[in-house]
Structure 1
Amino acid sequence: MFYELATLSGPLLKLREMDAAAQDWMADAAAGTVLGRWRTDIGQLGQVLLLRQFDSLKYLSEERRRALLDRDPFRVRGLATSVAQESYEGFPFLAPAAPRQAGGIYEFRTYFLTVGGIPATLDWLGSGHRAGQGLYRPPRHQHVRIGWPRSDPPHLGV
Structure 2
Amino acid sequence: MYYELATMTLPFGTAGQAATSVQTFASKPEAQGELLGCWFTDIGVLNQMMVLRGFADLASLQAERERTQKSADPLGCGDILQSLEQHSYWGFPWMKPVRPSSESGVSGPVYEIRTYGIKPGGVQPTIDLWEQYVPAREKLSPCVVAMVALDGPLRFTNIWAYPTLDARSKARADAVAQGIWPPKGGPAHLTTAMTSTIAMPTAVSPLK
Specify if TM > 0.5.
yes
Corresponding letter in the other structure for 1:137? G
Give SS of 2:96's match. Answer: coil
Structure with more of its chain in helix, by fraction: 2
Provide the rounded CA distance (Å) in 1 between the counterparts of 2:16 and 2:31. 24
TM-score normalised by structure 1 residue count: 0.89
Considering Cα pairs closer than 8 Å and 6+ residues apart, tell me whether 1 or 2 has the greater RCO. 2
CA distance in 1, matches of 2:125, 2:9: 34
What is the root-mean-square deviation in Å for CA atoms of aligned residues?
1.7
Whole-angstrom CA distance in 1 between matches of 2:125 and 2:151: 19
Hey, what does 1:19 align to over in structure 2? 19
Report what 2:115 is aligned to. 110
**Paired residues of 2:25 and 2:31 also in contact (CA < 8 A):** no
Counterpart CA distance in 2 for 1:125 and 1:96 is 16
| TM-score, normalised relative to structure 2 | 0.69
3-state DSSP class of the match of 1:102? coil
Unaligned runs of 5+ in 1: 154-158
1:124 to 104, 124, 129: 129
Cα deviation for residue 35 of structure 1 reads 1.1
Q: Which residue of 2 aligns with 1:10?
A: 10
Q: Deviations over 1:102-125 (max 9, x none)?
A: 132111000111122112212212
* Mapped partners of 1:102, 1:20: distance in 2: 20
Q: Distance in 2 between matches of 1:68 and 1:61?
A: 10
After TM superposition, list the pairs within 5 Å mapping 1:126-141 onto structure 2. 126-129=131-134, 130-141=145-156
Query: Which residue is equivalent to 1:87?
Result: 88
Of 24-33 and 105-114, the range deviating more from structure 2? 24-33
Larger Cα-atom Rg:
2
Shift of the alpha carbon at 1:32? 0.8
* Counterpart-to-counterpart distance in 1, 2:121 and 2:45: 30
> Where in structure 2 are there 5+ consecutive unaligned residues?
135-144, 176-208
Identical aligned residues as a percent: 34
* Partner secondary structure for residue 85 of structure 2: strand
- Aligned mates of 2:119, 2:37 — CA distance in 1: 29
1:151 and 2:156 aligned: no
Shift of 1:17: 0.9
Distance (Å, rounded) in 2 between the aligned partners of 1:57 and 1:128: 28
State the number of aligned residues: 153
